[in-house]
Amino acid sequence: MQVELKSPCKVNFILNILGKRPDGFHELETVMHPVPIHDVLTFGRGGSGIQLTCDLPGLPTDSGNLVYRAAAKFLEEARIAEGVRIHLEKRIPVAAGLGGGSGNAAATLLGLNQVFGGALDESILRRVAAGLGSDVPFFLQNAPAIATGRGENVRSLPPFPTLAGVYILLIHPGFGVSTPWAYKNLALFPEALNGKRGRAQRLVERLDISIAEARPDFYNSLEAPAFEKFPLLEIFRDFLRENGASIAMMSGSGSTTFALVEGRGKAERLEEMFRSKFGASCWMRSVLIQSPR
Ligand code: C5P
């Protein structure tokens, strides 16, 4: 039996960091939204150990890959001695703030659980996911969500009616930002490090009314360190804001900038303008964030 799963990415509408914890992680509140741009994973039983292949040269296929670590954890928790074969087709840029690797890890847990007839129940999957990475539990579900703690406490939200028919434009500059680096350098920006709790919930409430109403709450604490090291990212964001985006900001720890654009024509024009201004070296994708009603 072979199982094929699409592994989507995400953006953060708000990533509000509340402070550093004694365990070294940062307490935060975030609203994450799935984006229908996918990697594809296929899973099968057989052989011995974990045989991971990937179409992207340069990506590790051993324990340096979160897919491998997720598979190892799954087999250990489920006490399965049999081998597995996994193939990963990479479409989402890496170290991009889009949660590509975290999504792959969650898809691996879900895919292997299908292949092995539901060996692990949901609560165990959630615990294993949280152990693999702060963003992994979000990808066990496929809906917008508010997340707290270090990001692992996930509460699914109903779709935002205000996002029906809205396009999202993703722009990756061709270089990545390391997540540990971004968090470490947040220490230099006390205001960004010590956000006030409650903004994420306020964003959710206001986004139920309109994008304009919620605009002040779209915010990312990690823009502070990222923009200082990579001023180009701030230039990208401001260009998008000045040329038709309803919202433009960095996602996660970067380096992807995203824009929410109301209407297909506007989205196409913005993409074209961005391309002619900044050239073709960026990876760019534009999709409907949510189908029209
Ligand atoms: O949880 P994850 O493995 O994705 O985190 C990667 C790194 O990002 C952590 O090692 C830590 O340096 C930083 N991080 C953090 N606080 C969080 C999430 C991540 O400091 N809430």
pLDDT tens for 256-277 read: 999 999 999 999 999 999 999 9
Q: According to the model, what pLDDT value does residue 138 have?
A: 98
Q: Kindly tell me if the per-residue pLDDT of 78 is higher than 90.
A: yes
274: exposed, middle or buried (C-beta count within 10 Å: 0-12, 13-18, 19+)?
A: buried
- For helices 264-278 and 231-242, the axis angle rounded to 10 degrees is 140
Task: Please tell me which residue, 279 or 70, carries the higher pLDDT value.
Answer: 70
Give the pLDDT mean for 272-286.
92
Query: Could you identify the atom of ligand 1 that is nearest to the CA of residue 17?
Result: 21
The residue annotated as part of the active site, out of 39, 73, 135, 217, is: 135
Calpha distance 102→129 (Å, rounded): 9
Total length of the chain: 293
Distance (Å) from CA 39 to ligand 1 centroid: 22
Angle at 81 between CA 76 and CA 83, to 5 degrees: 100
Q: Half-sphere exposure of residue 129, counting CA atoms within 13 Å on the CB side?
A: 30
Report the predicted TM-score, pTM, of the whole model to 2 decimal places.
Answer: 0.97
Which mutation among 20, 25, 152 tests ligand 1's pocket best, with the greatest number of atoms within 8 A of CB?
Answer: 25
Ligand 1 touching residue 180 (CB < 6 A): yes
Distance (Å) from CA 3 to ligand 1 centroid: 30
DSSP run (H or E) holding 67: helix 66-77
Largest CA distance in the chain: 56
Q: With cut-offs at 50, 70 and 90, classify the pLDDT of residue 39.
A: very high
Question: Known catalytic residue: 10?
Answer: yes
Query: Could you identify the atom of ligand 1 that is nearest to the CA of residue 132?
Result: 3
Q: According to the model, what pLDDT value does residue 34 have?
A: 98
Q: Average per-residue pLDDT in the chain?
A: 97
What are the pLDDT digits (tens) for 196-230? 999 999 999 999 999 999 999 999 999 999 999 99
Q: According to the model, what pLDDT value does residue 251 have?
A: 98
Q: Kindly tell me if the per-residue pLDDT of 291 is higher than 90.
A: no
Question: Known catalytic residue: 217?
Answer: no
Among protein residues, the one with the nearest Cα to ligand 1's atom 13 is 180
Ligand 1 touching residue 225 (CB < 6 A): no
Q: Kindly tell me if the per-residue pLDDT of 280 is higher than 90.
A: no
